[in-house]
Amino acid sequence: MIFRPASLVRPLTASLCSAALALGVSASVHAADVQLPDTMTWSSYDVGSAGYAEASAIADAFGKEYGTRIRIQPSGSAIGRLQPLLSGRASVGFLATETFFAAEGVHDFSTRRWGPQNLRAIAGRPSSIGIFTAEDANINSLEELKGHRFAYVAGNPSINVKCDAILSFAGLTRDDVDAVMFPTYASAMSSLARNEADASCTTTTPSHVYELAESPRGIRWLNMDPNDKEAWEKISEVAPFMASYTETIGAGISKENPVNIVAYRYPVLAVRADTTADEAYNMLKAVDETYPMYKDATAAMPRWDINLSGVPAIDVPFHEGAIRYLKEKGIWTEEHQAWNDARTARLNALLEAWPKAVAEGEGKSDEEFAKIWEKHRQKALGAL
């Protein structure tokens, strides 16, 4: 699935709202069309994060438009954000790549306590990420990364799996570069300016990449051809939640100097698969109808436009209720449905494989069980 940002179009509901206000009618006339609980709990990243700020802005809009009172439960860990959702204490999670990890049963979710989780997406705004290099390293393409120092972050699979996926675009793996492991995200990202690495991957706006751009080394983002179908299929094998994205904002990037990289989704509005179709439908409709109220809350909020946030690729399959609304809006296409069907088949295969791995791992150590599960996981994915 190749995704390119469309022009941000003000939703029809915004125009209707403006017309209503011009006639002296309250904007809340739309609220009758959306059925939300009186109170809701959402989980999110910690206070101060982009995810928390965006959840807060949308929650504030829900309160003003529909009278719904929303409690946001923040957590700095993947488990802490997923647990309230899976236990039913939260109805929606404003999550990151742990959505994919949970559905796949990997990293924090590969233990006997967890395994693959049956999750669905309602929407998720695109957040771009790419491989950047020090300009003086004279690396002009992904293929030229081979043998060069590449900065990874110890104990951070969310970043590292994205780096590995982008390397796969050029047919490379971590073994093809000189992988240098740094103890923290900040130390890894700033390592290029210190000449301790030549490349890494991140989003386009952290302070570290601006510092590199202004340093004597300079910065270069490595382009990824959006029309290279074979290369995108390679990425999908590693990270099916990624898609092509043309970025115009960031260090060394502008509208006049854009770069083709990838987008993942953060935050992802995730729900459990057993959420009813009507609940998912109303949640997405509310997100769409209140968009004019929150779109200017942060620099990234315009990307919640439903034409951007309501299409694949994303970490887990879209919920049937969300798809119903997207079809009503004329956004959902046959191509989107094909993506969703394939993503659902992948998730179902892992859910079916898990009990077999648990049975085989009975009485085995955690280390042995991890190998057993990975064997079953790869077998299930290989059969697709």
For residues 113 and 102, give the distance between their C-alpha atoms in angstroms, rounded to a whole number: 12
How much is the pLDDT for 25? 40
Q: Is the dihedral of CA 365, 371, 373, 375 positive or negative?
A: negative
How much is the pLDDT for 119? 98
How much is the pLDDT for 11? 39
What mean pLDDT is predicted for residues 183-209? 94
Element (H, E) at 31: none
What average pLDDT does the structure give for the chain?
A: 91
Residue 18 predicted with pLDDT over 80: no
Residue 373 predicted with pLDDT over 90: yes
Banded model confidence at residue 30, pLDDT cuts 50, 70, 90: low
Question: pLDDT tens, 228-254?
Answer: 999 999 999 889 999 999 999 999 999
What mean pLDDT is predicted for residues 91-118? 96
Residue 38 predicted with pLDDT over 90: yes
User: Global pTM?
Assistant: 0.85
Please state the domain extents for the chain: 12-126+264-354, 128-263
How much is the pLDDT for 32? 59
CA dihedral 286, 265, 2, 382 (to 10 degrees): -120
Secondary structure of residue 316 in the 3-state scheme = coil
User: How many other CB atoms are found less than 10 A from the CB of residue 384?
Assistant: 9
Q: Say whether 128-263 and 12-126+264-354 share the same fold.
A: yes
What mean pLDDT is predicted for residues 15-29? 41
How much is the pLDDT for 135? 97
What mean pLDDT is predicted for residues 31-52? 90
Architecture of domain 12-126+264-354: 3-Layer(aba) Sandwich (3.40)
For residues 255 and 130, give the distance between their C-alpha atoms in angstroms, rounded to a whole number: 17
How much is the pLDDT for 33? 87
CA dihedral 196, 198, 204, 210 (to 10 degrees): 50
Residue with tokens 């769409």: 288
Q: Which two tokens mark 381?
A: 């994915």
Question: pLDDT tens, 274-307?
Answer: 999 999 999 999 999 999 999 999 889 999 999 9
Q: Which two tokens mark 313?
A: 């690729």
How much is the pLDDT for 4? 41
Residue 70 predicted with pLDDT over 60: yes
Q: 3-state SS of 332-350?
A: CCHHHHHHHHHHHHHHHHH
How much is the pLDDT for 76? 87
Could you tell me the CATH superfamily of domain 128-263? Periplasmic binding protein-like II (3.40.190.10)
Secondary structure of residue 270 in the 3-state scheme = strand
Greater pLDDT, 32 or 58:
58
Banded model confidence at residue 49, pLDDT cuts 50, 70, 90: confident
The answer to which of 43-57, 130-144, 189-203, 332-346 has the lowest mean pLDDT is 43-57
Q: Which two tokens mark 258?
A: 């854009």
